[in-house]
Chains A and B, each alone.
Chain A
């Protein structure tokens, strides 16, 4: 009898411990989810080319600039993306190729061409919480998210608010598992979704490590060939009220429907360069 009590006590304790290790599974709000489904379904274009400029600003105000030429194309539900780094000089011609699979059970394929080594390396990393090219964006920010990995609820005190004169919904995005938290690097996010075009124009993200907060703020949004595109976005990483680092991301020469060949999204093309 004593042993049974001991076992039951231990089982109860372990159960409670496990309960606390699992992130709080807040009830998913169907209305908030429906909005996020519309965000996900919004036409983001196909056969896209653009020039991306990232200005990286440290807390002392020193700036570094990254210039990247990007190509992207849909293949069914999957997305193919090829990036050629143009600046600074020491990373020129470095190329990054991603096959972003819609199937959540299938890991993305990623390759990196390093011109200094004349070698293409396959990148195996489901952990996408690392910095993308030294910016405040992570690799997870550069790939699409699976709605089924998150619970969506309206912000408790403010379902709607205006951002720069535009009406938005305010929605919590809470990862459903610790794995997703670790993969993306975010504990939770508060999203501001424009009501007229279902575009996330602001996001506040709670970073898992270090107690940082990240503020994503779309400063310019442009309708190009009928598709809404954030042509300037600021991402600020803060600790408390102090800015730790900031990234200004600008897109130029955005073009859709460029009839890009699938052959473009290959290791062969990475190695040959632009």
Chain B
């Protein structure tokens, strides 16, 4: 009896399993002949001749660009106490025109001039008196030279690129460990245009290629730092203005240097990096004790780093490591500190039209002194960060969904943001996008007071 029950159960399971499976259908059994070989559109006669070739000589010059209108709406702020800026409601209504002129000078040489101009109507609409001069000067309007360079080949194996440019190091997509050459626009974390996130700097770059390897030498002539939230903006963490910032001049003496050795092989890549550069983030320095006067100063750092990635089926494994020496702190004058940064990540592309990536990084200050935790340094011995990104295309790539979370501390106790957005191609030239960014305040100084900056955003973009 027991066996019969087992057999009956197995049979039912088997039938259920079988019915749920996608059966390999064989047309001859299910469909008529016409249905099998039919279904094609009109039977246009095949011809022995193709379409006439369009002999269009490519122009030596091409002008491209885009025009954008974007808006943001803050929905999590409370009414300010006293005379503080009221950040509720419309926080951005910005138009931006980006232009890029490319010139093909010869088969081996080319040049580019690019730039952008922005104007944010939100400040005029809300009343310019509500904002600090720092905010108005840095957010309301902007005219900026973008990538502008000449690039060419000196020999078959030797390339040179001179001018304002962007050089991306490392293999990770969401967390920067070895990608230290270009400063970032950090004014609107989680919402800045990806193409505008890195700020170009003037450099001379030489590349030598041999087999699977390339050797790069870079001299950075323009000393440029991150664009950080300005005093009075909703992402500025303190209620007092920062001290004077001592920015090194862009001269021969202050030139930054960098070198890289890149290997690209079947299934994997490896890169080694070295750089002698200024810290993008300043530290506070005591200028005089009485009266106490401080200033922001940028330390000169040295970095040794490496990056590696390997493709395994649908998986891409990523790792980066950097040893950076030369950090200075207010609370430990006269002493330099080093930091070791390690990143590991994985990207999975096995789901149709979908990419999922997760990266974790840890930045550890070596020989940490407890005094560094005190203001104004607010340093952490260990800074742990993880980021996850999901992108999926729908409707033949006309609709893209992106979910990104960037979290400091395992549970976001040091600060976090979550970005949810969708982008839709109305035509080849016009795209609309929109979404929401949620912020979580945390122990990191720059994330200490951002929790109520949650905002909705939308944008329309015309490309030409």
Question: When A87-B428, A124-B314, A209-B352 are in contact, do A119 and B194 touch as well, CB less than 8 Å?
Answer: no
Interface stretch, picked from B44-52, B253-261, B277-285, B406-414, is B44-52
A107 and B396 contacting across the interface, CB-CB below 8 Å: no
B3 and A2 contacting across the interface, CB-CB below 8 Å: yes
CA gap between A131 and B399 in the complex, in Å: 13
Q: In the complex, which of the residues A17, A134, A221 contacts B396, with contact meaning CB atoms closer than 8 Å?
A: A134
- Kindly list chain B residues whose C-beta atoms are within 8 Å of the C-beta of A92: 64
Nearest residue, chain A, Cβ from B347: A124
Q: Does B313 contact A (CB under 8 A)?
A: yes
Nearest residue, chain A, Cβ from B38: A204
Q: Does B377 contact A (CB under 8 A)?
A: no
Q: Does A148 contact B (CB under 8 A)?
A: no
Q: Does B61 contact A (CB under 8 A)?
A: no
Nearest residue, chain A, Cβ from B316: A124
- Kindly list chain B residues whose C-beta atoms are within 8 Å of the C-beta of A215: 39-41
Question: When A220-B51, A268-B159 are in contact, do A127 and B314 touch as well, CB less than 8 Å?
Answer: yes
Per-position binary interface string of chain B over residues 345-362, scored 1 when its CB falls under 8 Å from any chain A CB and 0 otherwise: 001011111000000000
B312 and A124 contacting across the interface, CB-CB below 8 Å: yes
A165 and B39 contacting across the interface, CB-CB below 8 Å: no
Q: In the complex, which of the residues A13, A117, A131, A272 contacts B151, with contact meaning CB atoms closer than 8 Å?
A: A272
- Kindly list chain A residues whose C-beta atoms are within 8 Å of the C-beta of B39: 204, 213, 215, 238, 241
B43 and A58 contacting across the interface, CB-CB below 8 Å: no
Shortest C-beta distance, A141 to chain B (Å), equals: 14
- Kindly list chain B residues whose C-beta atoms are within 8 Å of the C-beta of A253: 53-55
Interface stretch, picked from A30-38, A40-48, A227-235, is A227-235
Nearest residue, chain A, Cβ from B153: A272
- Kindly list chain B residues whose C-beta atoms are within 8 Å of the C-beta of A232: 50-51
A20 and B352 contacting across the interface, CB-CB below 8 Å: no
Nearest residue, chain A, Cβ from B2: A2
Nearest residue, chain B, Cβ from A129: B352
Q: Does A104 contact B (CB under 8 A)?
A: no
Question: When A56-B396, A64-B428, A127-B350 are in contact, do A229 and B50 touch as well, CB less than 8 Å?
Answer: yes
Per-position binary interface string of chain B over residues 3-23, scored 1 when its CB falls under 8 Å from any chain A CB and 0 otherwise: 100110011011001100110
* B interface size (C-beta, 8 A): 83
Shortest C-beta distance, A89 to chain B (Å), equals: 4
A135 and B54 contacting across the interface, CB-CB below 8 Å: no
- B:27-86 near A, CB below 8 Å: 27-28, 33, 36-37, 39-41, 43-51, 53-55, 64-66
B194 and A58 contacting across the interface, CB-CB below 8 Å: no
- Kindly list chain B residues whose C-beta atoms are within 8 Å of the C-beta of A272: 110, 151, 159
Q: Does B292 contact A (CB under 8 A)?
A: no
Per-position binary interface string of chain A over residues 1-27, scored 1 when its CB falls under 8 Å from any chain B CB and 0 otherwise: 010011001101100110011011000
- Kindly list chain B residues whose C-beta atoms are within 8 Å of the C-beta of A127: 314, 349-352
Q: Does A99 contact B (CB under 8 A)?
A: yes
B46 and A109 contacting across the interface, CB-CB below 8 Å: no
A88 and B7 contacting across the interface, CB-CB below 8 Å: no
Shortest C-beta distance, A231 to chain B (Å), equals: 3
Nearest residue, chain B, Cβ from A125: B349
Shortest C-beta distance, A64 to chain B (Å), equals: 5
Interface stretch, picked from B184-192, B228-236, B262-270, is B262-270
Per-position binary interface string of chain A over residues 124-143, scored 1 when its CB falls under 8 Å from any chain B CB and 0 otherwise: 11110111011110000000
Q: In the complex, which of the residues B50, B173, B313 contacts A222, with contact meaning CB atoms closer than 8 Å?
A: B50
Question: When A23-B24, A209-B352, A273-B110 are in contact, do A6 and B396 touch as well, CB less than 8 Å?
Answer: no
A116 and B195 contacting across the interface, CB-CB below 8 Å: yes
CA gap between A215 and B156 in the complex, in Å: 45
- Kindly list chain A residues whose C-beta atoms are within 8 Å of the C-beta of B28: 155-157
Q: Does B252 contact A (CB under 8 A)?
A: no
- A:154-180 near B, CB below 8 Å: 155-158, 161, 163-166, 170, 174
- Kindly list chain B residues whose C-beta atoms are within 8 Å of the C-beta of A170: 37
Per-position binary interface string of chain B over residues 207-234, scored 1 when its CB falls under 8 Å from any chain A CB and 0 otherwise: 1010000100000000000000000000
Shortest C-beta distance, A50 to chain B (Å), equals: 10
Shortest C-beta distance, A208 to chain B (Å), equals: 8
A88 and B463 contacting across the interface, CB-CB below 8 Å: yes
B397 and A131 contacting across the interface, CB-CB below 8 Å: yes
- Kindly list chain B residues whose C-beta atoms are within 8 Å of the C-beta of A185: 352
CA gap between A118 and B53 in the complex, in Å: 33
B41 and A234 contacting across the interface, CB-CB below 8 Å: yes
B48 and A89 contacting across the interface, CB-CB below 8 Å: no
- Kindly list chain A residues whose C-beta atoms are within 8 Å of the C-beta of B393: 130-131, 134
B427 and A122 contacting across the interface, CB-CB below 8 Å: no
CA gap between A215 and B38 in the complex, in Å: 9
Nearest residue, chain B, Cβ from A231: B50
A117 and B50 contacting across the interface, CB-CB below 8 Å: no
A122 and B37 contacting across the interface, CB-CB below 8 Å: no
- Kindly list chain A residues whose C-beta atoms are within 8 Å of the C-beta of B96: none
B267 and A117 contacting across the interface, CB-CB below 8 Å: no
A20 and B266 contacting across the interface, CB-CB below 8 Å: no
Shortest C-beta distance, A121 to chain B (Å), equals: 8
Q: In the complex, which of the residues A107, A155, A188, A223 contacts B311, with contact meaning CB atoms closer than 8 Å?
A: A107
B37 and A161 contacting across the interface, CB-CB below 8 Å: yes
Shortest C-beta distance, A267 to chain B (Å), equals: 6
Q: Does B429 contact A (CB under 8 A)?
A: yes
Q: Does A90 contact B (CB under 8 A)?
A: yes
B168 and A164 contacting across the interface, CB-CB below 8 Å: no
Shortest C-beta distance, A222 to chain B (Å), equals: 4
- Kindly list chain B residues whose C-beta atoms are within 8 Å of the C-beta of A266: 209, 264
- Kindly list chain A residues whose C-beta atoms are within 8 Å of the C-beta of B167: 118
A131 and B396 contacting across the interface, CB-CB below 8 Å: yes
Q: Known pairs A2-B2, A109-B267, A130-B353; list 10 more (Cβ under 8 Å).
A: A16-B14, A118-B166, A124-B312, A124-B313, A131-B353, A220-B51, A222-B48, A241-B39, A254-B50, A268-B159
Q: Using a CB–CB distance below 8 Å, which chain B residues touch chain A?
A: 2-3, 6-7, 10-11, 13-14, 17-18, 21-22, 24-28, 33, 36-37, 39-41, 43-51, 53-55, 64-66, 110, 151, 156, 159, 166-168, 171, 173, 194-195, 198, 207, 209, 214, 264, 266-267, 269, 309, 311-316, 347, 349-353, 393, 395-398, 425, 427-429, 431, 461, 463-464
Residue pairs across A and B with Cβ atoms less than 8 A apart, 23 shown, are: A2-B2, A2-B3, A21-B21, A23-B24, A64-B428, A89-B65, A90-B463, A109-B311, A116-B194, A117-B168, A118-B167, A124-B312, A130-B353, A185-B352, A215-B40, A220-B47, A221-B47, A222-B50, A224-B50, A231-B50, A241-B39, A253-B54, A272-B151
Q: Which 7 A-B pairs have the closest CB atoms?
A: A134-B397, A231-B50, A124-B311, A222-B50, A88-B428, A124-B316, A89-B463
